[in-house]
Structure 1
């Protein structure tokens, strides 16, 4: 762990963002090349490797319904698989004399945002601190902009990087509102970060793998999975439908409850609700599941955290926002990925249950 000292320092650096043209702003995600240019030292934590993507399970003509996508440039290519995926090595960068203020990292003429400014109060945005009473030597930054924005990426990226950070120094993250689910996972995964909005870092290590899933990252993810499974019984059962309701980025499935109930009645699925239940309750239900099903979204990561190889994920996709990001994790974990594309109804969508059943049959369920 790094040394945390009480030492008063003064700096107006948080106000330099008001000076146009002086400071460049970046999101703290996939910034390896820039970090390397600012680092006094860089090194490889783990080598990269190449994998071949798996074909998803889906009915004929489903992709023809897709009218828009999110974070998936070519749904047809991604879902048909057979693509050679290059997973970059995990690199570490040592930077010196860093200021961390209200969710941003300041180094020289660069500002790196760890989260959107909307996650701070307006007062904190307009009046960043100028007096700092904490100094840390040997810190490590594991959190990222996208991890703070998307719960699923927090579980896959930030929680794996935490294990790397804990080896290098004091794991640091921004002190913003954290959901009860995230705090529960921190406890279950033995994570104990130092949260702050005003600190001077004499030395800080950053990590980047350019959103890859190399073998080292898989190993860390698997160790987190094993840690969770060691705390919950994983008796085999058909599956779990995870209700999303209106949580996260809005995409409303008009017959979500109806589909969940039909899967419970006809196939013995359990139903969990991320808006009402704790992580312990959700994982206890998902452990041992053959299939995790629900509207596409980060909430399904609760199930992916404990699914064992050979199990499946069935995503119900809005046609105007098709997203294949979760397939990155299912491919990494040797899980089957299946989907049904819904039918648009004004701004929302609904799912044809007959298509769900036919897709389940493709999974030999």
Structure 2
């Protein structure tokens, strides 16, 4: 039995608990911070007038800076080794510090962690974040890229996540990318490596390119084409595009592949999306299918709900030298419409 959750809460009540970085027995700078030019996003005049709101916990100014030309400093990629650590309820406890890895609440009372099981040799390297615990795109891109880094430090594992069991596409993609990360429940880890792997630096770019290369099929049915990815009512946050069918019909007349991930296997998606030059979809994890498969230097257009203006995809497209554009819709917080003419004009703009 371990009392780590109780001890941590006592630290919180009577002082400031240490951070995992402060209690780390070893710290490795995998890649230092890098400052690079940032290209502007592609969008029509007047689009920002349609913005009504932003995602929860989002900084509006940061969202606007993302789409502006300038310089950006990408954070360093770091690895930290903690000793006498335990994974409890999706949180790592060590030396009075706590590190959150899933979106669930932290455990409160005593826990009974198991000893490490299976083919673990040397240290454990744990991957996972609260964001990747609930969003398909971050799980597939962020955690898979971190897995390539983590294997250099130990046996790669992840905390058990109850939300991910139904993500069949994600698990199939990982098999195709040769990413195998067994999950752990409450476990006494001993020594464990944790990672700060958010910065879109050159080391992360190399790993993301490696994942894309692993998915690239030997033979693609098309090349240089456009794709429209149906979102419908899928996803964690409601972003229902009311005229999605009409937009799909118009893009189909213009030669776009219309892809519905809910109706196709991961292998089929890879085959149909590979080599595409432009991907269009409602902003969200559905764009992950195209990001991992489209041609180098491709382009992406995110259709944005007016009450949830989010340009996280700009960071990912910048990482690989892709172009990024967006179109704002109009409507309510859960359901909206987009001007199809604006989408077509933005396509012409971004493709030149």
Is TM-score (shorter-chain normalized) higher than 0.5?
yes
Is 1:319 equivalent to 2:311 in the alignment? no
Conserved 8 A contact 1:47-1:89:
yes
Match of 2:181 in 1: 193
Conserved 8 A contact 1:42-1:94:
yes
Match of 1:30 in 2: none
Is 1:152 equivalent to 2:137 in the alignment? yes
Judging changes above 3 Å, is the alpha-carbon distance between structure 1 residues 76 and 323 closer, same or farther for their aligned structure 2 residues? same
After superposition, the CA RMSD in angstroms is: 2.6
Match of 1:6 in 2: none
Shift of 1:353: 0.8
Is 1:134 equivalent to 2:116 in the alignment? yes
- Report how many residues are paired: 342
Which whole-Å deviations, capped at 9, do the CAs of 1:6-48 have from their partners, x for residues lacking one? xxxx32445657769469999xxxxxx9332010111211233
Tell me, in whole angstroms, the C-alpha distance in 2 between the residues paired with 1:66 and 1:59: 13
Shift of 1:153: 2.1
Match of 2:193 in 1: 205
Judging changes above 3 Å, is the alpha-carbon distance between structure 1 residues 127 and 188 closer, same or farther for their aligned structure 2 residues? farther
Alignment of 1:1-365 (within 5 A): 10-14=1-5, 21=12, 34-70=19-55, 71=58, 73-74=60-61, 75-79=63-67, 81-117=68-104, 129-134=111-116, 137-177=122-162, 178=164, 179-209=167-197, 211-230=198-217, 233=220, 235-248=222-235, 249-265=237-253, 267-345=254-332, 347-364=334-351
Tell me, in whole angstroms, the C-alpha distance in 2 between the residues paired with 1:242 and 1:72: 28
Tell me, in whole angstroms, the C-alpha distance in 2 between the residues paired with 1:166 and 1:67: 43
Tell me, in whole angstroms, the C-alpha distance in 1 between the residues paired with 2:103 and 2:54: 22
Conserved 8 A contact 1:310-1:336:
yes
Conserved 8 A contact 2:30-2:79:
yes
What SS does the aligned partner of 1:219 have? helix
Shift of 1:131: 4.9
Shift of 1:216: 0.8
Tell me, in whole angstroms, the C-alpha distance in 2 between the residues paired with 1:201 and 1:173: 12
Q: Which runs of 5+ in 2 are unaligned?
A: none
Q: Which has the higher strand share?
A: 1
Judging changes above 3 Å, is the alpha-carbon distance between structure 1 residues 290 and 303 closer, same or farther for their aligned structure 2 residues? same
Judging changes above 3 Å, is the alpha-carbon distance between structure 1 residues 288 and 23 closer, same or farther for their aligned structure 2 residues? farther
Which whole-Å deviations, capped at 9, do the CAs of 1:34-70 have from their partners, x for residues lacking one? 3320101112112332211111111110111111123
Which whole-Å deviations, capped at 9, do the CAs of 1:270-327 have from their partners, x for residues lacking one? 1112233222122211111121001011110110112223321011111111111001
Judging changes above 3 Å, is the alpha-carbon distance between structure 1 residues 323 and 281 closer, same or farther for their aligned structure 2 residues? same
Judging changes above 3 Å, is the alpha-carbon distance between structure 1 residues 348 and 23 closer, same or farther for their aligned structure 2 residues? farther
